[in-house]
Amino acid sequence: MSEKNKKFSRRKFIGLGIKGYSGVQLAQGLPLSLLAFSGCKKSSAKTIHGACYHDCPDSCSWEVTVENGEIRGFAGDKENPFTAGKLCDKMETFPQDITFHPDRILSPLKRTGLKGEGKFEKISWEQAIKEVAEKLKLSVARHGGESVLPFGYMGTQGLIQKGAMSNRFFTKLGASNLSETICGAPAITGNMMANGQVMGILPEDIVHSRYIILWGTNTKHSNVHLWPFVLEARSRGAKIIVIDPFRSATAMEADQHIQLMPGTDVALALGMMHVIIKEELTDDEYIENFTLGYEALKKHVEKYDPTTVAGICGIEEHLVVDFAREYARAKPSLIRYLVGMEHNFNGGDAFRSVGMLPSLTGAWREHGGGLMHFTYELFGKALNYGRLNMYTELAEKETRWINMVQLGSMLNDVDLNPAIKTLFVFNANPVVTIPNQNLIREGLKRDDLLTVVVEHFVTDTAKYADYIFPATTQLEHWDVADSWGQVYLNLNQPAIEPLGEARPNSEFFRLLAKEYGFNDACFNESDIEIAQSFFDTDHPYMKGITFDYLKEHGWARLKIPDPFLPHATGNFGTSSGKCEFYSASMESSGQALPAYKSTSPENLAQYPLQLLTVKATKGFHNSSHANVKHLIENEGFPTLDMSMEDAQSRNISDGDEVKAQNQYGTVLLKARIRNRIRAGVVLMPHGYWPSFVKGNATSNALTNDRLSDFGGGAALQDCWVEVIRFG
């Protein structure tokens, strides 16, 4: 496929859907048959290449040792220089934890009890598909295609099983579109407003940096394969600064931790600009040649003086000044940010303002300088992503968009026209991962809602399903795995035959399309054919990288020029080709420049503590793995981090059982009094399943579905609670 004929969009790549919004060997725990070697017979073991499917920047390569159709070993691929043979703690025992979990669904299920009870009976694939298709036809005939909502997200980020076939089915059906904005949308939107793209320097090039800011990312915990490169940079003389509202594992390792109040990142960035401009620490030549709107920005940041910013952020005034000076003077300086600072009303502007800093100082000129963000745009250029989006071929008309953040509101909206009458859930567990947990539960209880779930387990969402279909795991199907955090492409090959009656997501939608009466040729394509078609490209990044090469070797690094200096001489993705400090397209809305907006609630007296819900568990990934016994035991009872000051004023001691509550719900936890969180803020981990904890409620029982400033993201951290000791 010729590069000049490609039309790449973010939606085609990861389906963010912002449209409408500006080595270990296995030993214990496996079935005995997997450990039974065949005596003195000549070994027929072979190595199968694969890759982790999780929504994670690392996208690890792995190898599976298989003999006579049985798994003998599972480990990270040591040949891949980025992931280097190391899997994260939660994935080292993946086969027995997920593929061979005793509670895994291995046949289709049909609901027999009330919605939410989790009572089902086995049913054949043939009968289940037939019944779902019949019910779907009747509902669409009565309410229209837009009454159907597909709710699929990043339960796998593999290009085929995430959405290659499901996108075709729902496009042909004329279903509503899902705006997949729960994670990344404000970050992308803010960065796009300033720079016109999200790609920065390559992850490995952080070793050349001498001043590294880890902003809103717990790198040591959630980006574990980047961390060794950070340490390598430190060994070469780099200083590491972490900006985070809580004292994360990464902050504990940093040379400096700036612990600002949640949602105030944009104010800190604008305060840095104030100091850098006032003290003439700017790169005037870079600004002149490669930016727009500098004079407007210069005037705008006058009001973000260090005193004002320190008051907003809750930090000492000298920190604002010293930090800005150090950053501007350091060469090369790098800002690594991920999504940590986007989950509030200021999220989009936070990324827009921070994304401007390297252009203000000219940091882009240096190898190892600038920004490090998402890498998916490189794959978007390299691969044939047109295979993921067949909208022009299949769609009969434009259909509406529904924001996933507001699923609860949409399911309960009596004025929504048409109302959501059919919900398909795959690669997702919204009862756990989407805000306003209790409102979602209410919506899922509706008798007039047909809910179909494709899953590995009876999750807290699947308990409300009318039908559940068993999905294969990553060890049992084909997929192509790109990455949003590094530049290695992987081919995932099935290591074993599917257990029981499990089938890939793609096969479920093929069967449903056939039963529904869709006879377009695209529904007959196999997973291997779709995988092969991604390599129909002549982009130089893919030189020598073919389907057959990956089938033999497992992974390959994109052929990206070295050194890779994306913006040393401008070349931004904006229409002007420059970093735009001032966004002319946002003039009419009064948002041409980033600004801090206060988000304090009206009922602060009743709920005075700001709630942070973060990925603080080591054993869970979003909601995945949260039903694995040994990981649950390692995590223990969910905790609530509090400051000593807030705990003492409420007569709460370390280890006390407490309830965090607000107008949306109540969650039971154990108080943990550590020097990790500041007064006025409390922190609880995200990812626990309600059905596995006391009180049957987890972090999203306390969050609302308010949206961020840009991108339609979730303002999860703009929630407040009160904490009370009980028991």
For the stretch 86-95, pLDDT in tens is 999 999 999 9
Task: Provide the pLDDT for residue 390.
Answer: 76
Could you give phi then psi for residue 452, rounded to 5 degrees? Answer: -120, 125
pTM, two decimals, is 0.93
Residues 209/550, Cβ–Cβ less than 8 Å: no
Task: Provide the pLDDT for residue 392.
Answer: 75
Task: Provide the pLDDT for residue 43.
Answer: 64
494 Cβ contact list (under 8 Å, min separation 6) = 48, 472, 475, 476, 477, 478
- Domain edges within the chain: 104-183+380-472+498-544, 201-372+564-584, 609-725
Helix and strand numbers (H, E) in the chain are 25, 27
430 Cβ contact list (under 8 Å, min separation 6) = 151, 404, 407, 440, 461
**For 104-183+380-472+498-544, which CATH class?**
alpha beta
Task: Provide the pLDDT for residue 41.
Answer: 52
Rounded CA separation 703/662 (Å): 9
Rounded CA separation 76/551 (Å): 17
Rounded CA separation 287/268 (Å): 21
Host H or E run for residue 514: helix 505-516
Ramachandran region of residue 15, left (φ > 0), alpha (ψ -120 to 50) or beta? left
Would you state the torsion angle of the CA atoms of residues 120, 125, 128, 133, taken in this order, to the nearest 10 degrees? 150
Task: Provide the pLDDT for residue 42.
Answer: 56
Host H or E run for residue 334: strand 333-337
The token duo for 304 is 């973000």
Closest C-alpha among 161, 199, 168, 166 to residue 52: 161
Rounded CA separation 188/450 (Å): 34
Residues 674/647, Cβ–Cβ less than 8 Å: no
Rounded CA separation 333/209 (Å): 6
Residues 437/701, Cβ–Cβ less than 8 Å: yes
pLDDT-above-90 percentage for the chain:
90
Task: Provide the pLDDT for residue 10.
Answer: 35
What is the Rg, in whole angstroms, of the alpha carbon atoms belonging to the chain?
25
Closest C-alpha among 686, 722, 108, 176 to residue 431: 686
Q: 685 preceded by cis ω (within 30°)?
A: no
- Say which CATH superfamily domain 201-372+564-584 falls into: Dimethylsulfoxide Reductase, domain 2 (3.40.228.10)
Could you give phi then psi for residue 490, rounded to 5 degrees? Answer: -125, 150
Ramachandran region of residue 230, left (φ > 0), alpha (ψ -120 to 50) or beta? alpha
User: What is the mean pLDDT, run by run of 10 residues, along the chain of 727 residues?
Assistant: 39 40 36 39 83 96 95 96 93 96 98 97 98 98 98 96 96 97 96 96 98 97 96 98 96 98 97 98 98 98 98 98 98 95 96 98 98 96 87 88 98 97 98 98 98 98 98 98 97 98 98 97 96 96 97 98 96 97 94 93 91 90 94 94 97 97 97 95 96 96 96 96 92
Residues 379/482, Cβ–Cβ less than 8 Å: yes
Rounded CA separation 420/425 (Å): 13
Query: How far out from the chain centre does Cα 24 lie?
Result: 26
Q: What are the C-alpha distances in Å from 511 to residues 53, 515, 516, 519, 637? A: 23, 6, 8, 11, 42
Residues 423/452, Cβ–Cβ less than 8 Å: yes
Collapsing DSSP to helix, strand or coil, 657 comes out as strand
Q: What is the pLDDT of residues 220-263, one digit of tens each?
A: 999 999 999 999 999 999 999 999 999 999 999 999 999 999 99
CATH 2.40.50.100 is the classification of domain 609-725 = no
Percent of the chain that is helix, strand, coil (3-state, to 5):
35, 20, 45
